[in-house]
Structure 1
Amino acid sequence: MKDFLQQTYLDNTLQSYCIVGTLILIVFLFKRYIAHYVASFFFFLLRKRYRNLDKVAFKSLIAKPLGLFIATFITVAALDKLNFPEALDIKIYRIRLHELLRMMGTALIIITFTRLLIKTVDFIIILLKERYLQQGDSGSHQLVYFFKDFIKVLIGLLGGLLLLKYVFHYDVKGLVTGLSIVGAAVALALKESLENLIASFIIFFDKPFKTGDSVKGSNFSGVVEKIGLRSTRIRTDAKTYITVPNKQMVDSVLDNLTNRTLFRGDIKLEIEPETPLEKVQELLKGIREIFQKHNVRTFSLYINDISSNAIIIVSDYYASTAEVSSFPVLKNAINVDILQLMKELGIHVCGRTTNVSILNEKPFT
C-alpha cells in the first residue's frame, strides 16, 4: 500500500494528491461550520465590549464571506504544495499555464479578502448606528453613513492596487505617483466642489445643525431634511425644497432655531391719549397676568412714550417652547388675550375712524 501511494503521476505522488484532495474536500464540506465557529469566537470577543451586539446580523454579514475566504485561502495554499506538471505548463498568449493559475489563485484570495473587509464595514456601521440611536443623537449617524461609503471605496481601491501588484506585477509606486499628479489637476478644476466637501466635514464634526433642525439664514429659513457631501437640502417655511451649498451653510451666519433656549416676542400698543390713567394701569396689570398665565419666563412692560396722538406701551417677552412651530401659537394666544382685555376695559387703539355727521336745519341761501 505504501509503495502504491508513492507512485508518481504528473510530477506528484498519489499520497500528495490524496492529502491535498482530502483537505480541499473537508474545507468545502465543512466551510459553513468552520466559518460559524470562527465567527462565534469573534462574536464572543466583541460581546464583552458591546453588550447589545446583534448576533444574527453579525453572522449573516460576517460568516458567509469569512467561510468563502477561508475555503479559498486553504484551497490555493494546498494546491500550491503540489508540483505543477511540466507537461501541462503550456503557453497561453505568452503566459505559461503555471503562472496563469498562480495569478488566478492570488486574485481569488485578494477578492474574497476584500469582500470580507467590506462586509465587516457594513456590520460596524450597523453597530455604530444602533449606538447613536440609543444615545438619542438623531444627527450623528449621518456621519457614519458617509464614512461607510468612503471607507468601502478606499478598501476597493486598496484591493485593486493589491491585484495590480501581486497578480500583474505592476509598478504600483509609479501608478500612485501618476494618480497624485492627476489628482492635483482635478483638485484645481473642482475647487468649488472640494470646498463644499470640506465644508461637509466641518458640518459633521462641528455640528452647527443636524437633520430635523429649524435654521434661519440670510435669505432662507426652514427645516433641514438632508445633509449631503456637496449641499444641504432644506424644506422652507413656504414648503419649497431648496438646495444650499455646504460652503454657504458654513461661511454665512446661521441661526439654529431648534437650539434656542428662549423665544422672543414683541408687543407695541398705541392707545388713545384720552384713555384714563386707571384704565392704563389696569391694562398693564392684565398684560402681566396674561404673561404669567402662559408661563412666560421673563418680560418687560412699560409706557414707552406719551404724545398728543397716542400712549405707546411696549413689551418684549421670552418664552420656552418644545418646538419652534409652537411659539407662533403661543404668541397668537397672548395677542388674543390682550385684545380681549382691551375690549373688556373699553380701551381703543388710536387712529380709529370717526364718523362726523353735520346737521343743518336751515337751508343754505
Structure 2
Amino acid sequence: MSEFLNQVYFNNSVRAYLIVGITILVVFLFKKYIALYVAKGIFKLVRLRYKNINLPTFLALVAKPLGLFLAVLVTVGALDKLKLPDELDFNIYRVSFQELLGMIGSFLVIFTFFRLIIKSIDFIMLMIQGHYLQTHEPGNHQLVFFFKDLIKVIIGIIGGLFILKYTFKYDIKGLVTGLSIVGAAVALALKESLENLIASFIIFFDRPFATGDAVKLNDVSGTVEKIGLRSTRIRSDAKSYITVPNKQMVDSVLDNQSDYTQRKASLKLEISSSTPADVVEKLLTGIREILTKEDIIAYTAFVNNITANAIVIACDYFTGPDITTFNKVRERSTLAILSLMAQLNITTAQSVSDIKIVQGSAPPPQAAI
C-alpha cells in the first residue's frame, strides 16, 4: 500500500494527489457548514459590541460568500502543493502555463475576498438603516444607500488594483498617480456639485434638520420633504416646491422651527399721548391679566417709550412649540387687548405731519452801477 502511495505520476506521488483531492472534496462538501460555524463565531464577537444585529440576515448575507472564499482559498492552496507535470510546461502568448494557473488562482482568491467584504458592507448598512428606523429618525437614513454604493465602488476599485498588482504583476504606482491627476481635474470641473455633495454629508452627520421639519432659510420657509445628494426640497408655506442647493442649506443661517421649545409673540401698542396715566395703568393691568393664561408660559408688558405723539407699550409672551396653539393664543390675546382698549376709550396714536408755508419778502433791488 505504501509503495502504491509513493508511486509518482506526472511529477507527483499518489499520496499527494489523494491528500489534495480529499482536501478539496471535504471543503466543497462541507463548505456550507464550515462557513456557517465561522460566521456564527464572527457573529458572537460582533454581538458583544452591537446588540441589535439580526442573525438570519447576517448569515444570509455573509455565510454564502464566506463559504465560497474559504473553498477557493483552500483549493488554490492545496493545488499549489502539487508540481506541474512536464507535459504542461508550455507558453501561451509568452506566459507559461504555470504562471497562467497562478494568475487564475490569485484572481479567484482576491475576487471572492472582496466579494465577501462587499456583502459584509450590505449587512452593515442594513444594520445602520434599521437603527435609524427604530429611533424614529426617518430623515437620517436617506444617505445610507448612497454611502453603501459609494463604499462598494471604492472597495471595487481597490479590488481591481489588487488584481492588477498581484495577478497581472502590473506596477500600479503610475496608474494611481494618473488617477489622482484625473480626479483632481474632475474635482475642479465639478466644484459646485462636489460642494453640494459634501454639504449633504454634513447634513447627514450634523443633522441640523430632517425630513418633515419646518425650516426658514432667508426668504424661504416651509417643510422639508426630501434631502438629496445635491439639493434639499422644501414645500413652502404657499405650497410651492422649492429646491435649495445643499451648500446653501449648510452655509446660510437656518431656523429650524420644529426644534422650538417655545414660541415668542410680540405686540407693540402706540396709544395717544393724551391718555391719562391712570388709564394707561388700567390698560397695563388688564393686559397682564389677559396674558396670565395657562397657554402662556411667560410674559412681559410695560411702557417702553413716550414720544411727542404716542405712549409706546411693549408686550412679549411665550407659548409652547405647537404652531397651531401659538396662533390661537396670539389671536385670542390680540382681540382681548383690542376689546380692553375699546372699554377704556383708548385710541391709537395718529401720525401728524406739519406743513409750514413760509412766505418771504422779495429782496430789494440793487442799484445799478
TM-score by length of 2: 0.80
Q: Offset of 1:345 from its aligned partner?
A: 4.9
Alignment of 1:162-177 (within 5 A): 162-177=162-177
**Which amino acid letter does the alignment assign opposite residue 327 of structure 1?**
F
Alignment of 1:1-365 (within 5 A): 1-133=1-133, 140-142=140-142, 144-268=144-268, 285=285, 287-302=287-302, 315-321=315-321, 323-324=322-323, 326-335=325-334, 341=339, 345=343
Question: For the Cα contact (< 8 Å) 1:283–1:345, is it kept in 2?
Answer: no
Structure 1: stretches of 5+ with no match in the other structure? 352-365
The 1:307–1:2 alpha-carbon spacing in structure 2 relative to 1, beyond 3 Å, is closer
Write the distance in 2 (CA, Å) between the matches of 1:53 and 1:72: 28
TM-score by length of 1: 0.80
Write the distance in 2 (CA, Å) between the matches of 1:273 and 1:184: 69
Q: Offset of 1:112 from its aligned partner?
A: 1.0
**Which amino acid letter does the alignment assign opposite residue 37 of structure 1?**
Y
Secondary structure of the corresponding residue to residue 292 of structure 1: coil
Write the distance in 2 (CA, Å) between the matches of 1:167 and 1:21: 25
**Which amino acid letter does the alignment assign opposite residue 327 of structure 2?**
P
Q: Offset of 1:122 from its aligned partner?
A: 2.1
Query: Which stretch of structure 1 is more off in the superposition, 28-37 or 16-25?
Result: 16-25
Structure 2: stretches of 5+ with no match in the other structure? 350-369
RMSD, aligned α-carbons: 3.4
Query: Which stretch of structure 1 is more off in the superposition, 80-89 or 105-114?
Result: 80-89
Q: Offset of 1:314 from its aligned partner?
A: 5.0
Write the distance in 2 (CA, Å) between the matches of 1:31 and 1:162: 25
Deviations 1:108-142 (A, max 9, x none): 11111111111212222233344455556555545
Write the distance in 2 (CA, Å) between the matches of 1:8 and 1:328: 95
Q: Offset of 1:39 from its aligned partner?
A: 0.9
Write the distance in 1 (CA, Å) between the matches of 2:331 and 2:23: 80
Write the distance in 2 (CA, Å) between the matches of 1:109 and 1:123: 22
Deviations 1:119-170 (A, max 9, x none): 2122222333444555565555456555433322221111011011111111
Question: For the Cα contact (< 8 Å) 2:84–2:98, is it kept in 1?
Answer: yes
Question: For the Cα contact (< 8 Å) 1:27–1:71, is it kept in 2?
Answer: yes
Write the distance in 1 (CA, Å) between the matches of 2:155 and 2:198: 21
Question: For the Cα contact (< 8 Å) 1:233–1:244, is it kept in 2?
Answer: yes
Deviations 1:75-123 (A, max 9, x none): 1111111222232344444433333232222111111111111121222
Deviations 1:305-363 (A, max 9, x none): 89999987653322122x44653344345446556x55995979879xxxxxxxxxxxx
Percent same amino acid at aligned positions? Answer: 56
Aligned length in residues:
349
